[in-house]
């Protein structure tokens, strides 16, 4: 090349894509400080023989066939160093033209600049490229028809492959980059970096990889960015180690992305000044540089499965606005057995300075977090799990926030949360399962809507908050909900058997159709709007002062009268629940509920008497006694409502008085003093005479007696019965009124 007649005439103009193989609208990836005062770059290399361009910029068909361009490039790169003296400089640069050998204004060696060059293939394997603190190899916007290989070598210079177009694949497997590596805007059919090592910053922003991207076992010692990348094939970072921050912001994974057993550790060091502007533009959080970020996937799109099985992330992990799309239901998004040592953010994070406009992550396939460890707080606020999420056996070392999240279901069985667990305002189309889970601080379900309820069997919760929540069909069996706040919460058809509800707040709560057998209801706070009895499908007037409310007889789910479709019928459980509610209503000054529960309990007892009298009893004696008890209970219900209705006593007394008054005229059994006996014949002529019979019956019933009427014959028997029944019914009325007043 030193025998040529001049310098290559190739000029790279960022504003003219045709000079670098681009098209109008393509982005140019070139450092502006390498351009001259006219804003262009001129090739410094010698012209090829009988050509106006150097061998690197000649079209492929015009390149010398006997020339190995890879070897020529290595020779050019390694022919210049950073000498300490002018003598060393002259010796080292012997054989190069003056323009190539000297440094440019920025202190770089033009000999190492191959911007816009054309190669059929490029192989730099098993070579040591470049040396010195200012060593740069510029391969920006080169075009390679075949493959590029930098494998197994040690690259001591800053490698710049920004905007390169490689029709084949580029491989850096087992290569060691001792200085920064810039691959921004690279286009290749595949990128392979298995077991490679990047000792300084590695920037792969806005790359386009049409096939696979494989960095299995690679080590990234400093900040690494894949922001804005688009990867068409399978992405593999299995066992990769990121010793500083890594960003995948705005990256699109068209196929699987596998990060199994990857390690993301330590905080991110400052980015180099040349990379800062782009790193901040395409880096961690939508233009914001964050320290202590181990991994950022904000605004990432994965069109297939993404896997983080057994990955370890020691810094903050950000997945804001990430979209994990569903391809096959059987291929979930997996974070199983991963360890997050710092904060993990899949949704809005109240504790950081992230922009409020940052959207939460969206999982369009099932998300698996089985055995995942979150050592710090975890933010899933507003995140969307279209096909549910599994957190079985997961461990949260601090607060876990799922507020405003939307999911098909959450399976969090045997999960441990050392802080609080928040699902306030969350919408869950199926169930939220927390069986055998432990939440050391509060669990917040305020205003949450869970269509198929919450499963909390044998769970342990310090504070359970679920105000204004929709939690029908929940299962809280054996759960400890002591001091739970359940104001205005809908718990219809839920299982609360053996649940600890001591000191729980149930103002306005709806527990109709719920199983309450064995529930501990000590000091539970209820009001007139708290509902325990009746079917959820039955509209209950909120006012007790209506005919429908007076005539209604709501029952619990164990009661045989609840409905034919109930599979929980159990008279003993029903009586136990009525007894517990009766005591609770008495303490809470709810006389109507107390009365309803007492009456239903007595009705069930009467039902058992009838069953014994007609079916269950073995002997005649037992049947007779059971029948007598049933008869007594029947009368007690009809006349007194088991002592709960003074109006029935009054109505019965009035009916008895009228009945006796109607009997006296039948046989001339009542005679006014100084007059003829009263008969229906005389009443037909003088209707007011019936009032005299009614008057006498009333006086006799009340045992008052005025002596102005004489009972005759059988009338004396009627008067005696009238007096006796009157004394009894008046005593019962006093008893019932006293019982009601005591409540």
11 SS3 class = strand
> Which residues on adjacent β-strands are paired with residue 395?
373, 416
Q: Residue 468 domain-assigned?
A: no
Tokens for 144, please give them.
């390679």
* Structure-derived torsion over alpha carbons of residues 49, 55, 60, 61, reported in degrees to the nearest 10: 10
Look at the chain and report how many structural domains it folds into: 4
pLDDT computed for residue 326 by the predictor:
67
* 3-class SS shares of the chain: helix, strand, coil, % to 5: 25, 20, 55
Q: Does one domain contain both 24 and 124?
A: yes
pLDDT computed for residue 163 by the predictor:
94
Hey, which bits of 6-111 come out as E strands? Answer: 11-12, 41-42
Q: Is the pLDDT of residue 192 over 70?
A: yes
Q: Span 56-60, mean pLDDT?
A: 93
Q: Does one domain contain both 612 and 668?
A: no
Q: Does one domain contain both 227 and 86?
A: no
pLDDT computed for residue 298 by the predictor:
81
Q: Span 438-465, mean pLDDT?
A: 89
Query: Dihedral of CA 726/730/731/732: which sign?
Result: positive
> Which residues on adjacent β-strands are paired with residue 416?
395, 438
Long-range (24+ apart) CB contacts under 8 A made by 517-526 are 517/558, 517/570, 517/573, 517/576, 517/577, 518/576, 519/580, 521/580, 521/581, 521/583, 521/584, 523/587, 524/584, 524/588, 525/588, 526/584, 526/585, 526/588, 526/590
Q: How far is CA 186 from the centre of its chain?
A: 38
Q: Does one domain contain both 36 and 112?
A: yes
Q: Does one domain contain both 144 and 221?
A: no
At residue 389 the predicted structure's pLDDT band, cuts being 50, 70 and 90, is very high
What are phi and psi for residue 656, nearest 5 degrees? -65, -40
Q: Span 442-461, mean pLDDT?
A: 89
Q: Which of 323-337, 391-405, 424-438 has the lowest mean pLDDT?
A: 323-337
pLDDT per position as a tens digit, 35-51 = 888 999 999 899 988 89
Of 399, 425, 448, the position where a domain reaches its end is 399
Q: Is the pLDDT of residue 633 over 80?
A: yes
Q: Residue 502 domain-assigned?
A: no
pLDDT computed for residue 662 by the predictor:
93
Q: Which of 10-24, 340-354, 368-382 has the lowest mean pLDDT?
A: 340-354
Q: Is the pLDDT of residue 33 over 90?
A: no
Q: Range of 682's domain?
A: 646-742
pLDDT per position as a tens digit, 92-116 = 444 555 555 566 655 677 888 899 9
Q: Is the pLDDT of residue 674 over 80?
A: no
pLDDT computed for residue 134 by the predictor:
61
Q: How far is CA 493 from CA 451, 601, 702, in A?
A: 12, 21, 51
Q: Residue 460 domain-assigned?
A: no
Give the separation between CA 642 and CA 602, rounded to whole angstroms: 7
Q: Which of 282-286, 316-320, 345-349, 413-417 has the lowest mean pLDDT?
A: 282-286
At residue 399 the predicted structure's pLDDT band, cuts being 50, 70 and 90, is very high
Tokens for 528, please give them.
């007139």
pLDDT per position as a tens digit, 63-73 = 988 889 988 88
pLDDT per position as a tens digit, 195-249 = 999 999 999 999 999 999 999 999 999 889 998 999 999 999 999 999 888 888 8
pLDDT computed for residue 348 by the predictor:
75
Residue count (the chain): 743
At residue 733 the predicted structure's pLDDT band, cuts being 50, 70 and 90, is confident
pLDDT computed for residue 379 by the predictor:
93
Q: How far is CA 253 from CA 239, 268, 323, 367, 622, in A?
A: 19, 24, 10, 17, 80
pLDDT per position as a tens digit, 496-551 = 999 999 999 999 999 999 999 999 998 899 998 999 998 887 655 555 555 555 55
Q: Does one domain contain both 184 and 232?
A: no
Q: Does one domain contain both 697 and 605?
A: no
Q: Is the pLDDT of residue 52 over 80?
A: yes
pLDDT computed for residue 85 by the predictor:
45
Q: Does one domain contain both 152 and 273?
A: no
Element (H, E) at 606: helix 591-611
pLDDT computed for residue 280 by the predictor:
38
Q: Is the pLDDT of residue 259 over 60?
A: yes
Q: Does one domain contain both 269 and 392?
A: yes
pLDDT per position as a tens digit, 607-629 = 888 888 888 667 888 888 888 88
Tokens for 102, please give them.
């000297």
Give the separation between CA 267 and CA 283, rounded to whole angstroms: 15
Question: Looking at per-residue confidence, does 82 or 536 come out higher?
Answer: 536
Q: Does one domain contain both 283 and 238?
A: yes
Q: Does one domain contain both 339 and 383?
A: yes
Buried b (16+ CB within 10 A) or exposed e, 322-346: bbbbbeeeeebbbbbbbbbbbbbbb
Contact call for residues 408 and 433 (beta carbons, < 8 A) = no
Beta-carbon neighbour count of residue 508 at 10 Å?
A: 18
Q: Is the pLDDT of residue 736 over 60?
A: yes
> Which residues on adjacent β-strands are paired with residue 22?
none
Q: Residue 103 domain-assigned?
A: yes
Q: Span 568-586, mean pLDDT?
A: 91
pLDDT computed for residue 269 by the predictor:
46
Tokens for 460, please give them.
């342990």
Q: Is the pLDDT of residue 433 over 80?
A: yes
Q: Is the pLDDT of residue 279 over 60?
A: no
At residue 277 the predicted structure's pLDDT band, cuts being 50, 70 and 90, is very low
Q: Span 6-15, mean pLDDT?
A: 92
Q: Span 292-313, mean pLDDT?
A: 85
Q: Residue 536 domain-assigned?
A: no
Of 399, 425, 458, the position where a domain reaches its end is 399
> Which residues on adjacent β-strands are paired with residue 670?
711
pLDDT computed for residue 608 by the predictor:
87
Q: Residue 628 domain-assigned?
A: no
* Residue 659 belongs to domain with CATH number: 1.10.287.70
Q: Residue 576 domain-assigned?
A: yes
Instruction: Find which of 84-93, 655-664, 667-676, 728-737 is predicted with most confidence, using mean pLDDT.
Output: 655-664
Of 399, 430, 446, the position where a domain reaches its end is 399
**DSSP code per residue over 408-460:** S-EE-TT-EESS-EE-TT-EESS-EE-TT-EEEEEEE-TT-EETT-EE-TT-E
pLDDT computed for residue 577 by the predictor:
94
Give the separation between CA 488 and CA 446, rounded to whole angstroms: 10
pLDDT computed for residue 278 by the predictor:
37
pLDDT computed for residue 193 by the predictor:
95
Give the separation between CA 367 and CA 414, rounded to whole angstroms: 17
Q: Residue 332 domain-assigned?
A: yes
pLDDT computed for residue 100 by the predictor:
57
Local structure of residue 294 (DSSP, 8 states): E
pLDDT computed for residue 707 by the predictor:
66
**How many angstroms separate the most distant Cα atoms in the chain?**
163
Tokens for 736, please give them.
């019932």
pLDDT computed for residue 185 by the predictor:
93
Q: Is the pLDDT of residue 273 over 50?
A: no
As a whole number of Å, the CA-based R_g of the chain is 45
pLDDT computed for residue 98 by the predictor:
53
pLDDT computed for residue 538 by the predictor:
67
Query: Dihedral of CA 278/171/147/56: which sign?
Result: positive
Give the separation between CA 207 and CA 701, rounded to whole angstroms: 104
Q: Does one domain contain both 223 and 185?
A: no
Contact call for residues 1 and 48 (beta carbons, < 8 A) = yes
Q: Is the pLDDT of residue 552 over 90?
A: no
Contact call for residues 93 and 101 (beta carbons, < 8 A) = yes
């Amino acid at each position: 090349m030193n025998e040529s007649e001049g310098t290559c005439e190739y000029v790279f103009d960022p504003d003219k894509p045709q000079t670098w193989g681009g098209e109008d609208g393509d982005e140019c990836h070139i450092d502006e400080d390498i351009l001259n005062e006219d804003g262009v770059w001129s090739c410094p290399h010698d012209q090829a023989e009988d050509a106006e361009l150097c061998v690197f910029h000649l079209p492929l068909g015009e390149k010398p066939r006997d020339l190995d361009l890879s070897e020529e490039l290595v020779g050019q790169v390694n022919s210049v160093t950073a000498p300490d003296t002018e003598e060393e400089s002259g010796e080292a640069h012997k054989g190069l033209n003056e323009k190539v050998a000297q440094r440019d204004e920025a202190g770089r060696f033009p000999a190492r600049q191959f911007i816009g060059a054309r190669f059929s293939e490029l192989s730099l394997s098993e070579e040591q490229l470049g040396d010195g603190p200012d060593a740069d190899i510029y391969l920006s916007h080169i075009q390679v028809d075949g493959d590029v290989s930098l494998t197994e070598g040690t690259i001591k210079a800053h490698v710049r492959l920004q905007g390169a177009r490689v029709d084949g694949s580029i491989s850096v497997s087992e290569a060691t980059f001792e200085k920064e590596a810039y691959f921004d805007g690279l286009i290749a059919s595949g990128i392979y970096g298995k077991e490679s090592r990047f000792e300084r910053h590695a920037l792969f922003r806005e790359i386009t990889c049409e096939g696979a991207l494989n960095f299995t076992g690679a080590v990234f010692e400093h900040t690494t960015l894949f922001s804005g990348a688009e990867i068409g094939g399978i992405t593999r970072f299995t066992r990769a180690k990121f010793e500083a921050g890594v960003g995948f912001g705005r990256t699109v994974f068209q196929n699987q992305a596998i990060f199994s057993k990857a390690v993301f550790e330590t905080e991110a060091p400052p980015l180099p000044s040349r990379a800062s502007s782009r790193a901040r533009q395409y880096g961690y959080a939508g233009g914001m540089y964050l320290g202590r970020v181990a991994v950022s996937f904000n605004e990432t799109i994965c069109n297939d499965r993404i896997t983080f099985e057994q990955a370890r992330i020691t810094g903050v992990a950000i997945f804001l606005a990430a979209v994990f799309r569903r391809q096959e239901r059987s291929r979930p998004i997996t974070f199983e057995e991963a360890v997050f040592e710092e904060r993990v953010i899949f949704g809005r994070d109240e504790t950081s300075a992230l922009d409020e406009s940052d959207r939460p992550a969206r999982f369009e396939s099932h998300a698996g977090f089985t055995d995942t460890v979150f050592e710090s707080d975890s933010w899933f606020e507003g995140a969307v799990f279209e096909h549910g999420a599994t957190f079985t056996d997961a461990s949260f070392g601090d607060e876990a926030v799922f507020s405003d999240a939307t999911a098909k279901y959450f399976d969090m069985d045997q999960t441990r949360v050392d802080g609080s667990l928040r699902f306030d305002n969350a919408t869950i189309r199926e169930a939220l399962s927390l069986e055998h889970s432990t939440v050391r601080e509060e669990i917040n379900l305020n205003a949450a809507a869970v269509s198929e309820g919450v499963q909390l069997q044998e769970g342990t919760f310090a504070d359970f908050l679920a105000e204004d929540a929709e939690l029908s069909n929940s299962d809280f069996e054996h759960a400890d909900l002591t001091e739970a706040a359940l104001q205005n919460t809908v718990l219809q058809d839920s299982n609360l058997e053996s649940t600890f509800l001591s000191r729980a707040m149930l103002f306005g709560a709806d527990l109709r159709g719920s199983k309450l057998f064995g529930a501990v209801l000590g000091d539970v706070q209820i009001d007139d709007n708290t509902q325990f009895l009746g079917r959820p499908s039955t509209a209950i007037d909120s006012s007790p002062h209506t005919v429908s409310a007076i005539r209604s007889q709501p029952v619990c789910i164990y009661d045989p009268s609840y409905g034919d479709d109930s599979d929980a019928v159990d008279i003993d459980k029903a009586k136990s629940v009525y007894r517990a509610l009766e005591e609770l209503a008495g303490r809470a000054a709810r006389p109507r509920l107390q009365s309803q529960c007492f009456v239903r309990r007595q009705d069930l007892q009467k039902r058992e008497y009838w069953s014994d009298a007609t079916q269950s009893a073995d002997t005649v004696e037992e049947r007779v006694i059971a029948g007598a008890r049933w008869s007594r209970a029947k009368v007690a219900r009809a006349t007194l409502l088991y002592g709960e209705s003074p109006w029935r006593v009054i109505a019965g007394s009035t009916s008895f008085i009228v009945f006796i008054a109607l009997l006296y005229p039948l046989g001339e059994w009542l005679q006014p003093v100084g007059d003829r006996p009263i008969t229906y014949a005389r009443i037909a002529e003088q209707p007011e005479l019936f009032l005299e019979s009614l008057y006498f019956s009333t006086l006799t019933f009340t045992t008052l007696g005025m002596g102005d009427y004489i009972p005759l014959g059988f009338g004396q028997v009627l008067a005696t019965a009238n007096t006796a029944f009157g004394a009894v019914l008046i005593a019962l009325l006093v008893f019932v009124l006293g019982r009601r007043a005591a409540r």
